[in-house]
Amino acid sequence: MSDAHVAASPLEQLVAGHLDAAAGGDRDAYGRIVAACQNPITAIALAIVRDVPASEDIAQEAFLSAWQNLRRLQNPASFLPWLRQITRNLARDHLRARRRRPREVEDADALIESAADPQPGPLGRLAGSEREAVAAELISALPDDSREVLLLYYREGQSSQQVATLLGLSDAAVRKRLSRARQCVRADLLERFGEFARGSAPSVGFTAMVAGALAVASPPAATASVLGGTLAIGGAKTLGKVVAGSAGGLGLGLAGAFAGIYLGLRSQLKGAIDEAERVALVRNAVVSGLASVGFMASLLLIAWLDDGWVLPVLATLVFMGIVFHKSMVVLPRILARRHALEAQRDPVGAARRRRRERINCWIGGIVGFGCGVGGLIVGLVSSGRL
């Protein structure tokens, strides 16, 4: 798909206005670029991988890759085509790593009816993973060159000119691809596909999640790490200095934490089997959010009152203990009834999913523990506490 240049669009003007600052390490400036570009980038990824969670992961990776390599970009006007190509390459790499192809699609209309049903029955509410699989197949049913255009068309208020700007195409090319898609799918079902496209669009939490990841990613210019900067304020002895020195890092940390909690909760609620499970999931997420706020507040208080290393270590261990308990004990207990129902319906598939979830949980726990301890040590050393 070609990336025809569209001169002086509002999006290009926004990017141009913030790109120099972002290349110098300004995370806020880059965050504004992410917010403006998240729709087309996630749509490009979704059109290729046909999986909403995977598309957001790929888009996040694309934004981080671009952030870390901004200084290599010679021409600011090339940023959007460059970012689009990074996304497409990552999405294709994802497909190759997955080593499987979507099944052949026989009936696009039936698939759209299933995936975009506004009032699913009890089975539809239970089988969230199955509905995601159907959504992947309905995207596959669309013409290859129309998937990006159609997804973004509905996400952008059905403006072909806006789609043309975001994808670097001519308005005529966009209209032609939309026409091809309309020939493949009935009009009423196409509108329901539009509901799916709008419902799968990234929320403001996506930008917050990328902003949180920027805090620990290598910047295009040399800047201090957020955790190191937060703990390095131990020498400050007034609350004003503590807040001034750490507010930015703590804000990004909290934004990332709440974005992760929100996105995880949203995914879990899709398959909730009853109101009791929904309440338990929400309560679990609220406790996790309060634990994150408490941890950040404790770092501020410790930095103000104490110059040693014991209290920061204790605060970090307590917080990590809460996180491990919530993810490895409380959450599986909440989902036990759902898992039992899945096991009754598909014992082999359910056992495979539980095994994969356990492996991912342990990998995430080990990586999280290593990153947390590593960041803590860096912060303690840089602040002179160790």
The one-letter amino acid at 364: G
**Do 137 and 105 contact (CB within 8 A), yes or no?**
yes
DSSP 203: -
Token duo for residue 132: 């995601």
Tell me whether residue 204 is in a domain: no
Please check whether residues 290 and 170 belong to one and the same domain.
no
343 shares a domain with 237: yes
User: Model pTM greater than 0.85?
Assistant: no
Same domain, 160 and 293: no
In a shared domain, residues 195 and 233: no
The pair of three-digit structure tokens given for residue 206, joined into one six-digit string: 């996506």
Whether 316 is in a domain gets the answer yes
Domain boundary among 199, 233, 257: 199
pLDDT, position 324? 80
Which residues does 115 contact at the CB level (< 8 Å), separation at least 6? 131, 134, 135, 137, 138, 193, 196
Same domain, 327 and 273: yes
- Among 93, 45, 87, 36, which residue's Cα sits nearest to residue 62? 87
Please report whether residue 219 resides in a domain: no
Q: How many domains does the chain have?
A: 2
pLDDT at residue 62, rounded to an integer: 93
* d(C-alpha 364, C-alpha 356), whole Å: 12
Q: Do 151 and 264 fall within a single domain?
A: no
The C-alpha atoms of residue 231 and residue 376 are separated, in whole angstroms, by: 8
Structure tokens at 274: 């009853």
Q: Does residue 254 lie in a domain region?
A: yes
Residues 50 and 163 in one domain: yes
Asked whether residue 232 falls in the same domain as residue 195, the answer is: no
Kindly state whether residues 102 and 65 are assigned to the same domain. yes
d(CA 59, CA 206): 10
Residue 264 counted as domain residue = yes
pLDDT tens, residue by residue, 338-366: 888 888 888 888 888 888 877 877 786 68
Residue where a domain stops, chosen among 199, 215, 244: 199
Name the domain boundary from 166, 184, 199: 199
**What CATH number does residue 140 fall under?**
1.10.1740.10
Structure tokens at 304: 């103000």
Q: In this structure, are residues 171 and 179 in contact, taking their beta carbons and an 8 Å threshold?
A: no
Is residue 315, in this structure, part of any structural domain at all? yes
CA torsion angle 70 75 76 79 (round to 10) = -70
332: tokens are: 């599986």
Residue 205 within any structural domain of the chain: no
Residue 233, CB-side half-sphere exposure with 13 Å CA sphere: 27
- 186 and 37 fall within a common domain: yes
Strands (DSSP E) contained in 104-196 are none
Whether residue 341 contacts residue 273, with contact meaning beta carbons closer than 8 Å, is answered with yes
213 is a domain residue: no
CA separation for the pair 66, 176 (Å, rounded): 31
- 125 with 246, same domain? no
**Residues 134, 194: one domain?**
yes
For residue 4, give Cα distances in angstroms to 158, 164, 168, 208: 20, 9, 5, 30
Structural domain that includes position 254: 224-382
Per-residue confidence (pLDDT) for residue 222, from 0 to 100? 38
How far apart (Å, rounded) are the C-alpha atoms in residues 279 and 285? 10
Q: What would the DSSP string read from start to end of 267-286?
A: HHHHT--SHHHHHHHHHHHH
Taking 50 as the pLDDT cut, the residues of the chain under it are: 1-6, 101-106, 115, 118, 120-127, 221-250
